[in-house]
């Protein structure tokens, strides 16, 4: 594993490689051949932040065949995507805030792609060159709003609605990974990324034909079946094979 995280101690924000719980501080640019200290940095008083600050978050819908069936919708012929507000990101350990308690609000476990290089009009065969790595995500969704509107950005862009992290795994094959969602310790979603309708390289290629992707941009790749409602007090955990778990609570 080659996990890279973004951290804060006091006013100091820095990237570091995470090895067996120890932090090895980045020297240089995380997006340009980074190198790391050989000596671990003290971890006392260090807070884990979201692993990137994207210029845009692109969410892909109906990208698992089982979730499309669950939603009663036909399989898409090309990727369906929309934007989520960058202000919706939430770090590992943070609290998801439900703005309308009378609305149905759902969890959605997702694999996230982190772009590492500026890219426009790439092919699927070349797309991996532009990917820094992968991390875990949630696409929290206000279903009451989503079902009332023809576009989904508002329903999915409230503050705290995109938990992300904790680290970016830079050496990972994303094509055959177990993906699970636990709610209060109970397994709710249980699938594999080999069930994606459009895989990660295909998504990067397709989206890059529509817009320029910049270093740090995030693509969340869709959720499998088993989505369900959240309530205050819930503990949510996304577990994706090869990644550190993403854990958040709800208030």
pLDDT tens string, the chain, 251 residues long: the values are 589 999 999 999 999 999 998 999 999 899 988 899 999 999 889 999 999 999 999 999 999 987 777 777 788 899 999 999 999 999 999 999 999 999 999 999 999 999 999 999 999 999 999 999 999 999 999 999 999 998 899 999 999 999 999 999 999 999 999 999 999 999 999 999 999 999 999 999 999 999 999 999 999 999 999 999 999 999 999 999 999 999 999 99
218, β-bridge pairs? 57, 114
Helix (H, G, I), strand (E, B) or coil at 127: helix
Helix (H, G, I), strand (E, B) or coil at 211: coil
Residue written as tokens 């990727």? 79
User: Is residue 237 within 8 Å of residue 246, measured between CB atoms?
Assistant: yes
Architecture per CATH, domain 3-48, reads as Roll (2.30)
Q: How far apart are the first and last CA of the chain?
A: 33
Positions of CATH 3.90.850.10 in the chain: 57-250
Positions of CATH 2.30.30 in the chain: 3-48
What is the pairing mode between strands 3-9 and 47-48? antiparallel
Burial class (CB in 10 A: 0-12, 13-18, 19+), 109: buried
DSSP letter, residue 93: T
pLDDT digits (tens, 9 = 90+) for 81-110: 999 999 999 999 999 999 999 999 999 999
CATH number of the 57-250 domain: 3.90.850.10
User: Is residue 36 within 8 Å of residue 21, measured between CB atoms?
Assistant: no
**What are the structure tokens assigned to 180, written together?**
């699970």
CA distance 133 to 51: 11
What is the pairing mode between strands 22-27 and 35-36? antiparallel
């Amino acid at each position: 594993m080659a996990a890279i995280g973004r951290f804060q101690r006091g006013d100091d924000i820095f990237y570091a490689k995470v090895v067996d719980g120890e932090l090895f501080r980045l020297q240089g640019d995380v997006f340009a051949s980074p190198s790391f200290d050989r000596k671990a940095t003290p971890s006392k008083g260090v807070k884990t932040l979201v692993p990137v600050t994207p210029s845009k978050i692109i969410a892909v819908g109906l990208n698992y065949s089982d979730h499309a069936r669950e939603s009663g919708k036909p399989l898409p012929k090309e990727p369906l995507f929309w934007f989520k507000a960058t202000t919706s990101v939430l770090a590992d350990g943070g609290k998801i805030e439900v703005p309308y308690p009378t609305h149905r609000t759902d969890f959605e476990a997702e694999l996230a792609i982190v772009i590492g290089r500026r890219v426009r009009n790439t092919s699927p065969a070349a797309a991996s060159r532009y990917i820094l790595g992968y991390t875990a995500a949630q696409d929290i969704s206000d279903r009451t709003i989503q079902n009332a509107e023809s576009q989904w950005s508002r329903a999915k862009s409230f503050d705290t609605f995109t938990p992300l992290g904790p680290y970016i795994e830079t050496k990972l094959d994303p094509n055959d990974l177990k993906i699970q969602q636990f709610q209060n310790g109970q397994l709710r979603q249980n699938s594999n990324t080999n069930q994606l309708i459009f895989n990660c390289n295909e998504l990067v290629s397709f989206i890059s034909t529509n817009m320029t992707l910049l270093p740090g941009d995030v693509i969340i790749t869709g959720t499998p079946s088993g989505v369900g409602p959240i309530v205050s007090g819930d503990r949510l955990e996304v577990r994706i094979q090869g990644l550190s778990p993403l854990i958040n609570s709800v208030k």
